[in-house]
Structure 1
Amino acid sequence: MVEFELDMYQVAAVAAIMFWLGSWIVKKNAFLSKYCIPAPLVGGLIFASINTVLAASGMMVITLDTTLQNILMSVFFTTIGFTASIPLMKKGGKQILVILFISVVVLTLQNGIGSSIASLFGIDPRLGLAVGSIALMGGPGTAAAFGTIMEGPDYLVQGASVVGLAAATFGLIAGSILGGPIMRRRLNQLALKELAITKSEVAVTKNEVVDIEEVEVEREKKALGMIRTSSDRFVWAAMLLALALGSGVVLSNIMAATGITFPAYMGSLIMGAIIRNIVEAVGQRHPNEEMEICGDISLSLFLAMAMMGLKLWVLAGLAVPIIVILIAQVVFMFLFSYYILFKLLGKNYESAVQTAGFIGYAMGSMSNAMANMQTITRKYGPAPAAYLAIPIGGMISDFFNAVIITGFLNFFT
């Protein structure tokens, strides 16, 4: 069989092409667009499918240099470290801390469910973690990153990438399907539907909904890099990233001396959090938008590369355990959100919107969370507290997710 190898520069070029192809397909496909399926995932999957067919036919196999993929993974997780802002949590108040605490509890339970059921099927419990918070609370980016780590020399968990990304894709769809219907049922039960439906309030409600829509448009523009920021602030963000990456290597070496296995990016992630809080403590403004764009760029390329290198045939032998775990995760999320979370958050309209948003990012991504909340607020009226607590609490939970996943991996190793 002919082996065709792409070096890291060629891999980057193909990843960019797959990203553009995926973006075009997502825009043209209502299903993919509705459930916020990432463009790099779609494009990368096409490449992986073609490569699988070529290899199965004995014609050719394409191998990829993963050097740049590993670098982009470290950059992506370092930008997550920069989201852990103590002043931001204080500014958001008690509700953000509540959402953050609940997120940590849920992601821990997701990992417990995944690893336990995997053990019952006689497979590596660490593979069950790939169908836990790695894929669900973490989303496709975290699934791809930890899949790479788990398949590496430190853990040797075969199939972690393809299992995690398959579970993450399912989670994106499930998070959208569950959120709105579950909370609409609660709203109807509590007769809250009439809150925004009086003639005297119609005009005000419409204006507020338009404001929410405008916020969503701005968020989408940021994700596409359409909001212009000064070159100085981009340089500032890049220098902070470089500092965190470099000092993070030193911290990782110190952490490795403890005898506990940590992912290579862990030191940089922690240093990102430390540096951000130092920057804010001395009165400097942290470049949030620029850091977010750097994270988006690194994640998009990294996710495309990770998808391109998937060994899709691994899924065939693990289909039944994965399906059982995913069903258990959906049942857990329904029961927890409907009977516990809604009540914990206050049993009112705001708590219903927050619960719908929580389901979105706990099963898929923040894009799903915002879509779930927007579906409800467009029909019933604004929920400003939810639009503050869910994005910030969910964003900071990514930091804790990475730490807790590492703890689970070391426990089972």
Structure 2
Amino acid sequence: MTTLTFNAYYTLIAAVLVLLLGSWLVRKIKFLQDFNIPEPVAGGLVAALVLFGVHTVQGVNFQFEKPLQDAFMLVFFSSIGLSADFARLRQGGRPLVIFIIAVSAFIIVQNVVGTVMASALGLDPRIGLVAGSITLTGGHGTAGAWGKDLEAAGVQGAITLGMACATFGLVMGGLLGGPVARRLIRGKPTPGLAGIDDSKPAAGDQEVVFERPHQQRLITAESGLQTLAMFAACLAFSDIMFKVAQGTFFQLPQFVWALAGGVLVRNGLVLIFGVNMFDRAIDVFGNIALSLFLAMALLSLKLWELAGLAVPVMFILAAQTVVMALYATYVTYRAMGGDYDAAVLAAGHCGFGLGATPTAVANMQALTDRFGPSHKAFLIVPMVGAFFVDIVNALLLQGALKVIAWVS
């Protein structure tokens, strides 16, 4: 069998071409727009199918530069940490803390459902984590990161399966949030749209990092250099801690240390030195890194490895969808107060509990465009979905893997 190897330069070129293809597809196909399918995923899946066809017909394998992909992954998770401002916790107050607790509990539920069903279907229970919070709460970026570590631990096809599950979650998260919230809203008072001037921002609105990847941002050479210095500090921290923690209780995947480094760097600079963080630059670098990482991960998919997993995993994902709807209805909604804001928050939880934060925001926008504003939901969901859930998910997944190893 012939293997075509792409060095770092050609891997980067291929990834950029995938992103350009994805951008064109999303512009042209309404379905991709309606369900907020990311451009790297749209272009990457098409590229993966093409490479699968070439492999099937010609027997050719494609090998892309792995260290480059890993570097962009670490930059992306560093950007999440650098965007996690503890000062924003005070803005959200008690409702934010309650929502974080509800979301954290659901991550545990999601992983229990996934691992129990995987074991019952005769699969490796770690497959249940891939069809659990790794991909559904975590999204494509987390799927690629954990997939890499799981494949190294012997779970064949974890990255490929993760990308498929994450894409399923994006679609179902967009489909589920609206119906769940509309059922909860039925017969209850709503703010309405009277007197709202869409040309003026609501009081307390803030720029949501990662939610507006196409928004124009003014970045100077100085701010870009300062941001790169912070990323370098995060990468150095992750490299040191990953090596130091090997064989200890604190042994974690390197991307978790990159995320933790970002949290420490950002909040240390803000709280100790009073630095005014330039979130726009962090946002841009993070989005670029995520896009390139996903493009490279999807180029490296081996779709033929999924043949034996497709049917049992679909059973798990169907169950996860039902569990999400029930949890949002009977736990998230009630925990957040059982009012209109709680219904919008439940729709948002469906969005990032199965898909991603942009899906959550799209769900909430569809509701507020019809029934009226929910400033509480738009303050809480982006903070939890884009920042805190990744930290909580990483810690809970590490614990879940230790439990599975202990039980096995």
| TM-score, length basis structure 2 | 0.93
Across the aligned residues of Structure 1 and Structure 2, the Cα RMSD in angstroms comes to 2.0
Taking the aligned partners of 2:66 and 2:275, their CA distance within structure 1 comes to: 36
Counterparts of 1:13-412 in structure 2 under 5 Å?
A: 13-152=13-152, 155-190=153-188, 192-193=189-190, 195-196=191-192, 202=194, 204-205=195-196, 207-208=197-198, 211=201, 222-224=212-214, 226-258=216-248, 261-282=251-272, 283-395=274-386, 396-412=388-404
More moved, 260-269 vs 275-284: 260-269
| Contact 1:140 1:165 (8 Å CA) reproduced | yes
Q: Using a 3 Å threshold, how does the CA distance of structure 1 residues 47 and 341 change in structure 2: closer, same or farther?
A: same
| Contact 2:79 2:231 (8 Å CA) reproduced | yes
Taking the aligned partners of 1:384 and 1:265, their CA distance within structure 2 comes to: 33
| Contact 2:208 2:382 (8 Å CA) reproduced | no
Taking the aligned partners of 1:245 and 1:407, their CA distance within structure 2 comes to: 24
Shift of 1:229: 2.2
| Contact 2:81 2:262 (8 Å CA) reproduced | yes
More moved, 25-34 vs 264-273: 264-273
Offset from partner CA, 1:359-396 (integer Å, 9 cap, x none): 11111011111111111111111111111011112221
Shift of 1:101: 1.6
Offset from partner CA, 1:318-373 (integer Å, 9 cap, x none): 01211111111111111111122111111111111111111111110111111111
Shift of 1:230: 2.4
| Contact 2:147 2:159 (8 Å CA) reproduced | yes
Say which SS state the counterpart of residue 17 (structure 2) adopts: helix
Question: What are the ranges of 5 or more consecutive residues in structure 2 without an aligned counterpart?
Answer: none
Say which SS state the counterpart of residue 167 (structure 1) adopts: helix
Shift of 1:265: 2.3
Q: Using a 3 Å threshold, how does the CA distance of structure 1 residues 378 and 248 change in structure 2: closer, same or farther?
A: same
Say which SS state the counterpart of residue 308 (structure 2) adopts: helix
| Contact 2:99 2:332 (8 Å CA) reproduced | no
% identity of equivalent residues: 33
Shift of 1:58: 2.8
Shift of 1:245: 0.9
Offset from partner CA, 1:46-98 (integer Å, 9 cap, x none): 22111111111135332212120011111111222223322121232122222
| Contact 1:252 1:266 (8 Å CA) reproduced | no
Say which SS state the counterpart of residue 321 (structure 2) adopts: helix
Taking the aligned partners of 1:209 and 1:32, their CA distance within structure 2 comes to: 27
Taking the aligned partners of 2:337 and 2:359, their CA distance within structure 1 comes to: 22
Letter in 2 for 1:246: A
| TM-score, length basis structure 1 | 0.92
Taking the aligned partners of 1:9 and 1:149, their CA distance within structure 2 comes to: 25
Q: Using a 3 Å threshold, how does the CA distance of structure 1 residues 209 and 401 change in structure 2: closer, same or farther?
A: farther
Taking the aligned partners of 2:283 and 2:154, their CA distance within structure 1 comes to: 32
Shift of 1:218: 8.5
Taking the aligned partners of 1:36 and 1:327, their CA distance within structure 2 comes to: 20
Letter in 2 for 1:182: V
